[in-house]
Chains A and B, each alone.
Chain A
Amino acid sequence: MGVNLAYFPPVICGISFILTVFFTRKAPLISSLISVFAILSSFILFIFILIDFLSPNLNSIDFSIDWIDVLDTRISWGILLDSLSVTMLGLITLVALLVQVYSISYMKGDSRFGWYFSVHSLFAAAMIAVVLVDNLLLMYFAWELVGLGSYLLIGFWYEKRAASEAAKKAFITTRIGDVALLIGIILIFKSTGTFNISSIFHIANNGGINENILTISTFLIFLGAMGKSAQFPFHVWLPDAMEGPTPVSALIHAATMVAAGVYLVARMMPLFSLAPYVLDFVVFIGLFTFIFGGTMAIVMHDIKRVLAYSTISHLGLMMLSLGFMGIASAIFHLIVHGVSKALLFLGAGSLMHEMEGETDIRNMGGLVNKMPITAITFIIGSVSLAGIIPLSGFFSKDEILLTVFEKGGILILFLTLIGAFLSSLYMFRLTFITFFGSLKSDNSKIGESPILMTLPLILLALLAIFMSALLLEISTFKGFIFFISGYKAHLNLLLIVFSSILSFVALILAWFIYIKDSKYLTDWFKLNMNCFYKLLLNKYYIDELYQYVINQIVLRFAQFIALFDRLVVNDIGVDKSSLSVKSLGLKLKFIQTGKMHGYAISMVIGFLILIFTWAIL
């Protein structure tokens, strides 16, 4: 019964978007309530669907109604429900719900309060559609809508130049991947004749797709995923995306935008598994991004930037796992990370809310006494992401390490552990600087945030602690890993011990540097690592490199194109043709004199033309 409800979540959110845009523009509070109600009912529907799915005889359902069916073209509105999409549905609706509730308080008094919630509905509808649809064409539509939603939300305060720049950056960077994705989808359609995902897998498994085409299209699809999931070298948009309201960052980093890329690769895994070169590429990109993001997160001073680079790094970890076909571990890490990261961003928002928009961690410190709920929940989130046993972040990381160890060998495992060490280090650094030590700002008015903001924090913190319970077997539910991939989870004790030790080393190191402020260590770092530090602080100069490339090559080329565009395309092509269309319209209008005899004459002329053509033919 429940599965038939799967059409409703995206539709409800879409209707909420229409209602709030068209009818309640003058009543922002009602808009927000409609939006929250829509996402709440989606979440409730998810629970119904999940209950159905937990019955053991249900694996995957694909149901659809035809949209267009003419000759060979067949497009349908279809839903593909399996454990993967149900999981994603849960993550998206839960995080979006909490973020929206939080936003009611956070965005209070904003001049575009209603519009904010409208876009949230659109964003949620699009993202839910991405994970539920059963064909690539609709998925691409929804995928683009996700891009549009992120553009609108990141640039929500578009009066701020940085915000509109960041929105553009996010849109254009992900567009590059989107174009690749579109080409990939078209290539697949050309060789299989269908958009339906299950049919494509079926055809591909029977060798229906040329091997080269398969490799190229899979690669292109992965480029699309890299754009959305902010993998190197497309990662530049994500740190800037924090210019949007902080709850938006929570949404983008946890459940919507970046999760789309990971989901896409997981969903298309049967194709990837037939393209081993692409899988190697996925491993490489994932591993590189994991370490690369982690190194930058260590030195940032802006709390949201630290979190952003941490997201990039963890997305790399998920991609790494996907590269070894570890869907279950990647998705498990996605949801655990999503919950923790939403918690951290909402916590950061709570800090900023009380500190009048301050984001520099050097100006914080000692906040643990002032804002106990925010502080404790934030610490839970960071400890979970740092991978300290027994929080859920530890188990999800461990699952991935296990996949890497089994499929990748010792060298890659070693590199992964370095990344894991970095990720523990920067999380502890962030926590220690922000909440411990002495109170930097003398603002004594700082207090706890309102209940609508702390409630989501508490809920997310509880999830961050107890999420690992999903791995356990409870009656018919055989654990999350089994739920997704169908094989049983197991543990490697050596790996657990080793990675725990690494995390604790990171904890102690961070404690010495940032709490004890050990002279010896800091001096050593200053002496030996200065050039490194500078490199990291400037994000490897990648933004500068892009800017240089854009200035020197793209803009030069663009200037040439612009000249061509202005002279040829615009003046002759567009203006000429639009003017000629318009002047044609004006000329034709003069035929319409309003005088009867003119009309009759034109009829006679038309009639004569008809007769003569016919007679000559």
Chain B
Amino acid sequence: MTINLDLLIPEILVGSLAFIILGLDLFLKSKYKEYIAYIAATGLILVLIFSIIPIWNTKANIYGDILVLDGYAIFFKAFFLTFGAVLILSSKNYVGNNFSYIAEYYSIVIFTILAMMFMVSSAEILTAYISLELLSFSLYVLVAFNRFNNRANEASIKYILLGAFSSAILLYGVSQIYGHLGTTNLVQIQQALSMNSEMSLGLIIGFSMFIVGFLFKIGIVPFHMWVPDVYEGSATPVTAYLAVLVKVAIVALFIRVLVVGLMPIAQDWQLILIGFSIVTMVVGNVVALIQSNIKRLLAYSSIGHAGYILLGVAAIGTLDQKGLILVDFSRLIVNGIILHLVSYSLASIAIFLCIDIIFGNSEEEQIDSMKGLHDRSPLMSLLITASLISLGGLPIFAGFTSKFYLFNSIGTQISLWYVGIAIITSLISLYYYLYVIRKIYIDTNKDKTVINLPILTKGILVFLLFALIFIGIYPNILMEFIYHASESLL
């Protein structure tokens, strides 16, 4: 067994970056510590440019099939590095003003990115589990980072207990699978499953537990209860992190596990996932209607979006008469899912960035306090409007294009009725999105103090706006990359 460490250079570099930042903390004077954010972001971008791009077209197994490197994994690694850098930059002001341990914060963030990079590369379920745990442990710390804040503590305790519960379920599922099939490797699981057609009850329990573990992490109803509490309680940059990168990473891993490992039993999990996704779309969007806290509202809206994506994931598992996957259509769905993840991430980052500027560290992020925001900050108002409209799925923003791709391909693969439900719940979601926009533009506020944005924030906001519109009107450049990812998966 030869080990080609070249292919692991990105992970090694990201790990080192985390340690470098921890070490820098010892030497830097406190007035220079604000530059750590720039170092972290630049580091991630450099890793992207110098170690990800050279291996762009690689397809290989590492460490005897423990890790796999293909277009799919590389696309998501690039995604994590890029969006990680954007998120680090956009959290710079909040972290500088509110946290006392700046370097620790960034190094933990980078550790989560490392975990995600391993997750999308993992070719067997134990590795997947371990990298998932690395991610979860880092997140428990991040949620509790503001340790003098009661809400953050409550959120963290809830997150850690339920997270441990779900991890236990997941791990038990892994052990059941190993016990019955004698392997943890995804490809071998697939072969074993396609050989014996009968499924024993133990195996069903194992797979169920395994899937439940994932559904918990993605925040699918009825495993979603932690989502609003944790989103509300965490510091806003951490919420953004949870809502964007973490969700994307777990979905990416989930798709690989299902498509590679569990494909022979696709008919079973497809129906179950469709059921869960419908409940999720309905509950997420309906409960969001009555929220008065903007972060809780976005938490429920993200649950709703997880529902759309889960419907797409379910649609991948359509088999033809011979029990084989319909490669062309499934690729289209994977494209739709990835595009939707990107558009959802862009819009979410923009909104959470605005929220953390508007509310800072105050306790209550009430929608009512966003009244008359237009008089105080036109740029942020425009950004929030654009992002909410994009999340709602109206042209000309990215959300329209991505929903169009996603729903269109789901509709051709499985029934149009499910798409109908997705569209109706999208329609419901427009109500609460537009409600926020109404508050911003139509209602007036006595407080007309202008919010001054730092130049960095302005830059990020303008960049996000352009990205939202650009993907909305010309998604093809991005689609080229996404094709590259989905082709190697299926």
Contacts and interface: CB of A to CB of B under 8 A. Distances in A.
Interface of A: 18, 22-23, 25, 65-71, 73, 77, 581-582, 584-586, 588-589, 591-592, 594, 596, 598-600, 602-603, 605-607, 610-611, 613-615, 617
Contacts of B286: 581, 584-585, 588
Interface stretch (B202-210, B246-254, B363-371): B202-210
Nearest to A608: B208
A7 B19 CA distance: 49
Closest 4 CB pairs of A and B: A599-B225, A606-B222, A585-B290, A602-B222
A22 B473 contact: no
B356 interface: no
Interface stretch (B38-46, B93-101, B159-167): B159-167
B409 interface: yes
B209 A607 contact: yes
Interface stretch (B27-35, B117-125, B400-408): B400-408
Contact of A606 (B212, B336, B409): B212
Contact of B409 (A70, A588, A613, A617): A70
A598 B229 CA distance: 13
A588 B412 CA distance: 32
Given A599-B225, A599-B226, A617-B271, A71 B408 contact: yes
A614 B412 contact: no
A592 B225 CA distance: 7
Interface string B274-293: 01100000010011111000
Contacts of B401: 67-68
Interface string B249-271: 00000000000000000001101
Contacts of A610: 208, 211-212, 272, 276
Nearest to A73: B408
19 contacts: A18-B382, A22-B378, A25-B378, A65-B476, A67-B473, A71-B408, A71-B412, A77-B473, A77-B474, A584-B286, A585-B290, A591-B225, A594-B229, A596-B158, A596-B161, A602-B222, A610-B208, A611-B208, A614-B204
Contacts of B166: 603
A586 to B, nearest CB: 6
Given A22-B381, A599-B225, A607-B169, A70 B208 contact: no
Given A68-B405, A596-B162, A589 B378 contact: no
B79 interface: no
Given A585-B290, A596-B158, A615-B204, A67 B212 contact: no
Contacts of A611: 204-205, 208
Interface of B: 158, 161-162, 165-166, 169, 201, 204-205, 207-209, 211-212, 215-216, 221-223, 225-226, 228-229, 268-269, 271-272, 275-276, 283, 286-290, 332, 336, 374, 378-379, 381-382, 401, 404-405, 408-409, 412, 428, 473-476
B227 to A, nearest CB: 10
Given A599-B158, A602-B222, A607-B209, A615 B201 contact: yes
A614 B215 CA distance: 16
Contacts of B162: 596, 599-600, 603
A600 B223 CA distance: 8
A610 B273 CA distance: 9
Contacts of A65: 474, 476
Nearest to B476: A66
A589 B290 contact: yes
Contacts of B288: 585
Nearest to B229: A594
A386 B385 CA distance: 51
B225 A598 contact: yes
A211 B475 CA distance: 38
B290 A586 contact: yes
B165 A603 contact: yes
Count chain B CB atoms within 10 A of each CB in A581, A585, A613 and give the residue with the most: A585
Contacts of A599: 158, 162, 225-226
A119 B167 CA distance: 56
Contacts of A614: 204, 207-208, 268-269, 272
A582 B289 contact: yes
Nearest to B290: A585
A602 B165 CA distance: 12
Given A588-B283, A599-B158, A600-B162, A607 B212 contact: yes
Nearest to B288: A585
Given A23-B378, A603-B223, A71 B332 contact: yes
A582 B289 CA distance: 7
Contact of B287 (A68, A69, A588, A594): A588
A582 B288 CA distance: 10
Count chain A CB atoms within 10 A of each CB in B161, B215, B288, B289 and give the residue with the most: B289
A68 B289 CA distance: 31
A66 B474 CA distance: 7
Given A70-B404, A599-B162, A611-B205, 14 more contacts: A23-B378, A66-B474, A67-B474, A588-B283, A589-B287, A592-B228, A599-B225, A602-B222, A603-B222, A606-B221, A610-B272, A610-B276, A613-B272, A614-B204
A65 B476 CA distance: 9
A238 B10 CA distance: 67
A585 B408 contact: no
Contacts of A585: 286-290
A18 to B, nearest CB: 8
Contacts of A596: 158, 161-162
Nearest to A610: B208
B402 to A, nearest CB: 10
Given A585-B287, A596-B162, A605 B222 contact: yes
Contacts of A586: 290
A228 B332 CA distance: 41
Contacts of A589: 287, 290
Nearest to B211: A610
Contacts of A591: 225
A571 to B, nearest CB: 19
A65 B215 CA distance: 39
B462 to A, nearest CB: 12
Nearest to A18: B382
A617 B408 CA distance: 28
A582 B287 CA distance: 8
A600 to B, nearest CB: 6
A603 to B, nearest CB: 5
A25 B428 CA distance: 31
A68 B378 contact: no
A266 B459 CA distance: 46
A142 to B, nearest CB: 13
Given A68-B404, A585-B289, A22 B382 contact: yes
Nearest to B284: A588
